[in-house]
């Protein structure tokens, strides 16, 4: 099974992929999120893993747009507890580090640590694990990476500081993506991700949310995203948890009368191992 991930082996995307699919997978490494949808559309991979939100940094809005634009199907979710470690060549300590290279999200999640070390220059890169690999491969001194413990072990680097994330209980949610929706009836499906656009009428959003509430459907997330070709107009992306498929389908039918557009991005089994 071929799985596309953002980053390389040792990245958090690889850890999330193994958590969901197990170890027997063939990873296809991508340096950017924008490469992933095309691999799915061209049938070069079976599934993809894409980070969608972090408990510290919030939603990754461009990834919502990619899922929508390429009509990808959300087939599942993974919650991963993120531990950021500062690592460099063996024998170095914090005083030796002049620069830290890492993904901008990792840097953002470790702001407090670096606020206490203003002498260290922060450089944004495309992937946490790729930086760790480059430091080891090119024997770069004075530079450290922010990455997983897996990356430190894989590339034989020394962990200089453990758990440097600002909030220790730091979790990232990943979507499992597929080219097209699985139409088979899965009795385990109890969560859905939707996109809808409300009518330009007072209280239209409240009416939609009220329909879900009356059908015993819990709203776990709502996120707005600008509609590019309509100035100051927004689409809403929501996550719902439901126990009764009949009530859920009835609610979907009713909200179609209250919105100008609705799209089911995915119906899948809720991850109950949320951290």
CA-closest candidate to residue 121, choices 141, 97, 139, 152: 97
Name the superfamily (CATH) of residues 85-161. Answer: Periplasmic binding protein-like II (3.40.190.10)
174 catalytic residue (yes or no): yes
Q: Note whether 86 and 161 are within 8 A (CB).
A: yes
The one catalytic residue among 47, 113, 174, 175? 174
Would you give the distance in Å from CA 19 to the centre of its chain?
14
Q: Give the pLDDT confidence score for residue 275 in this predicted structure.
A: 45
Half-sphere exposure at residue 104, Cβ-oriented, CA atoms within 13 angstroms: 4
Q: What average pLDDT is seen over the chain?
A: 94
The one catalytic residue among 33, 172, 175, 237? 172
User: Both tokens of residue 89?
Assistant: 């060549």
The model's confidence at residue 184, banded by pLDDT at 50, 70 and 90, is: low
CATH 3.40.190.10 in the chain, residue ranges: 2-81+171-178, 85-161
Q: Give the pLDDT confidence score for residue 229 in this predicted structure.
A: 83
Q: Topology of 2-81+171-178 in CATH?
A: D-Maltodextrin-Binding Protein; domain 2 (3.40.190)
Interval 209-243: pLDDT, tens: 999 999 999 999 999 999 988 888 899 999 999 99
> At residue 153, does pLDDT exceed 80?
yes
Residue 26 phi, psi (nearest 5)? -105, 110
The model's confidence at residue 200, banded by pLDDT at 50, 70 and 90, is: confident
Residue 81 phi, psi (nearest 5)? -75, 120
Q: Topology of 191-268 in CATH?
A: Alpha-Beta Plaits (3.30.70)
CA-closest candidate to residue 40, choices 180, 179, 177, 174: 179
């Amino acid at each position: 099974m071929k799985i596309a991930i953002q980053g390389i082996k040792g990245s958090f995307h690889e850890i999330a992929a193994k958590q969901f699919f197990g170890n027997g997978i063939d990873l296809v490494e991508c340096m950017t999120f924008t490469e992933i949808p095309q691999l799915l559309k061209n049938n070069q991979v079976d599934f993809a893993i894409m980070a969608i939100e972090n408990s510290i940094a919030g939603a990754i809005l461009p990834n919502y747009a990619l899922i929508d634009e390429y009509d990808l199907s959300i087939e599942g979710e993974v919650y991963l507890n993120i531990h950021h470690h500062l690592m460099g060549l063996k024998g170095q300590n914090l005083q030796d580090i002049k620069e830290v290279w890492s993904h901008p999200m990792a840097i953002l999640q470790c702001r407090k640590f670096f606020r206490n070390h203003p002498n260290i220059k922060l450089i944004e890169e495309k992937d946490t694990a790729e930086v760790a690999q480059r430091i080891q491969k090119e024997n770069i001194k004075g530079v450290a990476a922010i990455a997983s413990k897996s990356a430190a072990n894989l590339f034989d680097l020394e962990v200089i500081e453990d758990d440097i994330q600002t909030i220790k209980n730091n979790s990232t949610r990943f979507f499992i993506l597929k080219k097209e929706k699985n139409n088979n009836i899965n009795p385990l499906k109890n969560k859905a991700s939707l996109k809808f656009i409300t009518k330009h009428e007072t209280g239209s959003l409240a009416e939609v949310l009220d329909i879900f509430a009356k059908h015993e459907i819990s709203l776990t997330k709502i996120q707005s995203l600008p509609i590019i070709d309509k100035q100051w107009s927004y689409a809403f992306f929501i996550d719902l948890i439901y126990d009764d498929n009949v009530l859920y389908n009835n609610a979907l039918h009713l909200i179609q009368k209250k919105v100008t557009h609705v799209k089911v991005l995915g119906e899948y089994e809720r991850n109950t191992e949320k951290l």
